Structure 1
């Protein structure tokens, strides 16, 4: 590989990393959600757990909402076992909904299942 080709390749890699690093925070973190506290209760219809965070789909009055729960370590720390997030179970979610109009997406701070609280973010009021 010549010096010119290496420089072009390096510029391409740096550019790709910059695009990836600026696009990634657009969803992760809290920037995409409103500051307003939000509560919703529904029945779990689908579950996808893992990294970067788990997602639980719930049905509420015929509409599907996607709930972002914590990363596996965060759920475990809160005592929220995978078995508790099972299809057919009722769940109440306290957190923040998407700031994007019409998007039914909520970032959970705390969930309630069978009357038990699981606080995913103990340092935040929820």
Structure 2
């Protein structure tokens, strides 16, 4: 019984450490906002964060959107982000400008706004 309890505690600790590493927050961003307009190439709204690849004036950017629950709360679905759709993303780029990576706070598709992180306005 004691061995099972120790194994269960170790497993719980290991999974919580993996989850903490997977959710990296905003520490990798520059701290300032940019706007990026481009055409969606690929979409994956899975865990831990959704990722959209966007072609903006010939440069391919990776735009990280929210967790699935956050995207759902904002009304965002994979159907909204189909390849070929033009989007405008507002958010924080990576601290390394050569990364072409940003964390979107808001997305705009047509005249609709998707407030992924409304608390960051």
TM range (shorter): 0.7 to 0.9
Take 2:70 and 2:95, find their aligned partners in 1: how far apart are those partners? 24
Query: For residue 94 of structure 1, what is the aligned residue in structure 2?
Result: 90
**Which stretches of structure 1, 4 residues or longer, exceed 4 Å deviation after superposition?**
none
So what's the TM-score if we normalise by structure 1?
Answer: 0.78
How much is the aligned-residue C-alpha RMSD, in angstroms? Answer: 2.2
Equivalent position to 1:106, from 99, 102, 110: 102
Larger radius of gyration: 1
The structure with the greater share of residues assigned to helix is 2
Structure 2's unaligned 5+ residue stretches are: 1-6
Q: Deviations over 1:42-94 (max 9, x none)?
A: 00011112100110000011110000011111011011122101100000000
Take 2:27 and 2:117, find their aligned partners in 1: how far apart are those partners? 16
Report the count of equivalent residues.
110
Query: For residue 64 of structure 2, what is the aligned residue in structure 1?
Result: 68
Query: For residue 73 of structure 2, what is the aligned residue in structure 1?
Result: 77
